[in-house]
A and B are shown apart, each in its own frame.
Chain A
Amino acid sequence: MPSRLLPAALFVVLFSILPGLIAPAQVAAAETSRPPFTLSAGRGGDGNLLLTWNIGDGNYLYRDKIKVVASSVDIPVSTPPGDIKDDVNFGSVEVYHRTLQATIEGSALKGADEASVTFQGCSERGICFPPMTRIVDLATLQVRTEGNAAKATAVEPAFAAWKPSLPSEPVASQSSGFPEFSGLPAGWGMLIISFLGFGLLLAFTPCVLPMVPILAGILARSREPLSAIRGFALSTTYAVAMASAYAVLGVVAAWSGQNLQIALQTPYALGFMATVYVVLALSSFGLFELRMPAFATAGALNAPRGTIGAFAGAATLGFTSALIVGPCVTPPLAAALLYVGQTGDIARGATALFALGLGMGLPLILAGTFGSSILPRSGAWLLATRQLFGVLFLGVAALLIGRIVPPAISLAIWAALLIGAGVFLGAFDPLRHRAGAVVRLRKTGGILAAIYGVALLVGAAAGANDPLRPLAFASSGSIDHRGLPVRTINSPAALDEAMRDARSQGRIVMIDYSAEWCTACKTFERDVLASPDIQRKLDGITVVRADVTATNKDTTDLMRRYDVVGPPTLVFVSPRNGEEIRSARSVGDTSVADFGRKIDLAIR
Chain B
Amino acid sequence: MIISRRDALVVGAVGLLPLLANIIGAGQTWAAQEIDTKGILHDPDAPESGNPKGNLTIVSFFDYNCPFCKRAEPDLEKVVKEDGKIRLVYKDWPILTEASVYGAQIALGAKYQGKYLIAHNALMSVPGSKNDKATMTKAVQAAGVDMERLEADIHANADAISGLLHRTHAQAESMGLMGTPVYLIGQFKVAAALDAAKFREVVAQARQRQAGR
Interface residues of A (CB under 8 A from B): 1-4, 7-8, 29, 32-35, 62, 64, 87-91, 93, 120, 122-123, 125-131, 153-156, 158-159, 161-162, 164-167, 170-172, 186, 190, 604
Closest to B34 in A: A1
Q: Which residues of A contact B2 (CB under 8 A)?
A: 3-4, 7, 186, 190
The CA-CA distance from A158 to B98 in the complex, in Å, is: 12
Cα A419 to Cα B178 in complex, Å, equals 59
With contact pairs A8-B1, A162-B162 given, residues A127 and B193 touching in the complex (Cβ less than 8 Å): yes
Q: Does B211 sit at the interface, judged by CB under 8 A? A: no
CA distance A450 to B113 in the complex (A): 80
Which 4 A-B residue pairings sit nearest by Cβ, starting from the closest? Answer: A126-B193, A161-B162, A130-B95, A129-B179
Q: Are A162 and B165 in contact (CB under 8 A)?
A: yes
Question: Other than the known A128-B180, A129-B178, A159-B101, what 4 A-B pairs have Cβ atoms closer than 8 Å?
Answer: A35-B179, A126-B68, A129-B96, A162-B162
Stretch at the interface among B43-51, B77-85, B114-122, B127-135: B127-135
Cα-based distance from A7 to B22 in the complex (angstroms):
23
Q: Is the C-beta of B196 less than 8 angstroms from some C-beta in chain A?
A: no
Contact B32 A4 (CB under 8 A): yes
Smallest beta-carbon distance A165→chain B, Å: 8
Please name 30 pairs of A and B residues whose Cβ atoms are closer than 8 Å in the assembled complex, sorted by A.
Answer: A4-B1, A7-B1, A8-B1, A29-B1, A32-B26, A35-B178, A89-B67, A90-B127, A91-B128, A91-B129, A91-B130, A93-B129, A120-B96, A126-B193, A127-B68, A127-B182, A127-B192, A128-B66, A128-B67, A128-B69, A128-B179, A129-B179, A131-B96, A155-B101, A161-B162, A162-B101, A167-B95, A167-B178, A171-B176, A172-B176
- Taking A87-B67, A90-B67, A153-B101 as contacts, is the C-beta distance between A125 and B1 under 8 angstroms? no
**Min C-beta distance of A161 to chain B, whole Å:** 4
- Minimum Cβ distance to chain A for residue B24 (Å): 11
In the complex, chain B residues whose CB is within 8 Å of the CB of A171: 173-174, 176
Check: B70 CB closer than 8 A to any chain A CB: yes
Q: Choose from B130, B158, B174 the contact partner of A161 (Cβ within 8 Å).
A: B158
Q: In the bound complex, do residue A167 and residue B105 qualify as a contact, i.e. CB atoms below 8 Å apart? A: no
Query: Are B71 and A126 interface neighbours, CB within 8 A?
Result: yes
Q: Mark B185-209, 1 if CB is under 8 A from A, else 0.
A: 0000001111000000000000000
Q: Which residues of A contact B129 (CB under 8 A)?
A: 62, 90-91, 93, 128
- Residues on the B chain within 8 Å of A155, using CB: 98, 101-102
Q: Which of B145-173 touch A at CB < 8 Å?
A: 154, 158-159, 161-162, 165-166, 169-170, 172-173
Q: Is B11 an interface residue (CB 8 A)?
A: no
B23 touches A125 (CB 8 A): yes
Please, which residues of chain B bring their CB within 8 A of the CB of A153? 97-98, 101
The answer to whether A604 and B166 touch (CB under 8 A), given A128-B179, A167-B95, is yes
Q: A1-B33, A127-B191, A128-B180 are in contact. Are A159 and B173 (CB under 8 A)?
A: no
Q: Does B63 lie within 8 Å of A128, measured CB to CB?
A: yes
Closest to A35 in B: B178
Q: Whole-angstrom distance between the alpha carbons of A91 and B22 in the complex?
A: 27
Task: Looking at the assembled complex, report how far the CB atom of A172 sits from the nearest CB atom of chain B, in whole angstroms.
Answer: 8
* B: number of interface residues (CB 8 Å): 52
B177 located at the interface, meaning its Cβ lies under 8 Å from any Cβ of chain A in the complex: yes
When chains A and B are docked, how far (Å) is the Cα of A32 from the Cα of B177?
11
CB <8 Å contact, A130 and B179: yes
Given A1-B32, A1-B33, A4-B1: A126 in contact with B95 (beta carbons within 8 A): no
Q: Chain A contacts of B192 at CB under 8 A?
A: 123, 125-127
Set of chain A residues within 8 Å of B101, measured between Cβ atoms: 153, 155, 159, 162, 164
Q: How far is the CB of B13 from chain A (nearest CB, A)?
A: 19
Q: Which residues of B contact A170 (CB under 8 A)?
A: 176
Q: How far is the CA of A494 from the CA of B26 in the complex (A)?
A: 50
**In chain B, what residue has the closest Cβ to A33?**
B176
B172 & A161 in contact (Cβ 8 Å cutoff): no
How near does chain A come to B130, taking the closest CB pair, in angstroms? 8
CB distance from B129 to the nearest CB of A (A): 6
- In the complex formed, the residue of B with least CB distance to A170 is B176
Distance in Å from the Cβ of A53 to the closest Cβ of chain B?
17
Given contacts A7-B2, A127-B179, contact A164 B94 (CB under 8 A): yes
Assembled-state Cα–Cα distance A186/B159 (Å): 44
**Alpha-carbon gap, A158 to B136, bound state (A):** 14
Per-position binary interface string of chain B over residues 70-110, scored 1 when its CB falls under 8 Å from any chain A CB and 0 otherwise: 11100000000000000000000011111001100100000
Q: Shortest Cβ distance from A528 into chain B, in angstroms?
A: 23
Residues of A within 8 A of B96 (CB): 120, 128-131
Q: Are A34 and B70 in contact (CB under 8 A)?
A: no
A63 CA to B167 CA, complexed, in Å: 32
**Which residues of the partner chain B approach A120 to less than 8 Å between Cβ atoms?**
96
User: A1-B34, A130-B179 known; A162 and B105 CB under 8 Å?
Assistant: yes
Q: Could you say which residues of chain B place their CB within 8 Å of the CB of A64?
A: 130
In Å, the complex CA distance between A166 and B22 comes to 25
Q: Report whether A89 and B71 are in contact in the complex, using a CB–CB cutoff of 8 Å.
A: yes
Q: Are A122 and B68 in contact (CB under 8 A)?
A: yes
Q: Please, how many angstroms separate the alpha-carbon atoms of A165 and B179 in the complex? A: 13
Complex Cα distance A8/B101, Å? Answer: 34
In the docked arrangement, what's the CA distance between A122 and B97, Å?
13
Once the chains are docked, how many angstroms separate the CA of A167 from the CA of B1? 23
Q: How far is the CA of A91 from the CA of B131 in the complex (A)?
A: 10
Q: A529 to B133: give the CA distance in the assembly, Å.
A: 39
Determine the chain A residues whose CB is within 8 A of the CB of B69 once the complex forms: 128
Residue of A nearest to B174 (CB): A171
How far does the alpha carbon of A215 sit from the alpha carbon of B13 in the complex, in Å?
56
Looking at the assembled complex, report how far the CB atom of B146 sits from the nearest CB atom of chain A, in whole angstroms.
17
If A34-B178, A90-B129, A153-B98 touch, whether A167 touches B172 (CB-CB below 8 Å) is: yes
Q: Closest chain B residue to A582 by CB distance?
A: B34
User: Are B133 and A127 in contact (CB-based, < 8 A)?
Assistant: no
B154 near A167 with CB under 8 A, answer: no
Q: Which residues of B contact A186 (CB under 8 A)?
A: 2
* Nearest CB of A to B183, in Å: 10
